[in-house]
Amino acid sequence: MGRSHALAYHRLPGFEICGIVTRSPESRAALNKELGGAYPEFADFQEALKVSKPDAVSISTYPDTHAAFAEAAFDAGCHVFIEKPLAETVVAAERIVAKARATNRKLVIGYILRHHPSWIKFIEVAQTLGKPLVMRMNLNQQSSESNWDTHKNLMSSISPIVDCGVHYVDVMCQMTRSKPIRVSGIGARLTDELPEGKINYGALQVTFEDGSVGWYEAGWGPMMSEVAFFVKDVVGPKGCVSIVADKAAAEGQSANVDAHTQTQALRIHHSELDAEGKFARADDTLRLDDEPDHDGLCHREQEFFLNAIRNDTDLSDHMDDAIASMRIVVAADESFRTGKTIDL
């Protein structure tokens, strides 16, 4: 994510990179080389803030460092772009948002699907299906080599259902525009390569005030199945809409980051029956020409960030929505660990 955002800053005329910060000198050098080799490099975030004096900071670290880095950036007068999930805990997420408001700086959270034309249309169609909605989504990843190393590092601080779940729970909240009232979760530890108490598979079920229900599943690792790892499907009284992602659902694609956001088409089914009990309308296939790749989506995110800074956009709903989705996935994790359904 840091690389993709750096490419966007490098290419967008509204930004100028004044420093690259990573713990690894090798990764800093490789990224800098890809960007032309012209940017200052730092191993320490606090030093980078002090020396480079940035107007904005982009945080794409593991979630356990988000709160400390974001608060330091706000204290230095910076606007902040931060990858999802906003933080490791709801309390830390609330602290970040409170600091953004107190310092009157912009905070944009990396909910990449909010910038994807096909996902925006997916939500719009789902809102025409009546209530309640049944929302079924998953994203499992069969990972190996460096991808598995990255997943293990990430799971040292957060579970897949929290890290990826915020995206899809956020989509569900947009589809229903209803208050989530309770959530339950399950999980499993499928490897001994993780620290004690950490899991690499989880699923949640969330119920909304309007009667809508949502299901989300996420698992990472070399043991995960490539079969049915990509499900994005919404059912309502008037029919259903599904993402048809042949490329994403192809064998061997679950670890492909580009495939995670590819849609190809939306299939819309109508439930209306005629006098003979047959379907009154054939299914519709909606193909959208605007299908950006992963780097293209990150570019659009940073255009949104730049616009928010320049035009003083009110990001209150954006920040509140991020905390709402965090509450749901963290509650799902609590449900798994306590064996109890959590009232929200």
Q: Are residues 181 and 282 in the same domain?
A: yes
pLDDT of residue 257: 56
Please tell me whether residues 124 and 107 are part of one structural domain.
no
130 and 205 fall within a common domain = yes
246 and 302 assigned to the same domain: no
What's the CATH number where 281 sits? 3.30.360.10
pLDDT digits (tens, 9 = 90+) for 280-307: 999 999 988 788 899 999 999 999 999 9
Alpha helices, DSSP H, located in 212-272: 257-261
What residue numbers bound the domain in which 180 lies? 117-291+324-343
What is the crossing angle of helices 316-338 and 165-176, to 10°? 120
pTM for this predicted structure: 0.90
In a shared domain, residues 106 and 214: no
Position 318 in a domain: no
Q: Let me know whether 136 and 277 are in one domain.
A: yes
139 shares its domain with 283: yes
Does a structural domain hold residue 17? yes
Closest CA to 114 of 59, 60, 168: 168
Give the model confidence (pLDDT) of 111-132 as tens digits.
999 999 999 999 999 999 999 9
204 and 333 co-located in one domain: yes
**Mean pLDDT for the stretch of residues 82-109:** 96
CATH number at residue 57: 3.40.50.720
Domain shared by 128 and 275, yes or no: yes
| Count of domains forming the chain | 2
The set of residues, in sequence order, having a beta carbon less than 8 Å from that of 54 and lying 6+ positions away, is 18, 19, 48, 73, 76, 78
Same domain, residue pair 83 and 125: no
- CA 175 to CA 167: how far, in whole Å? 13
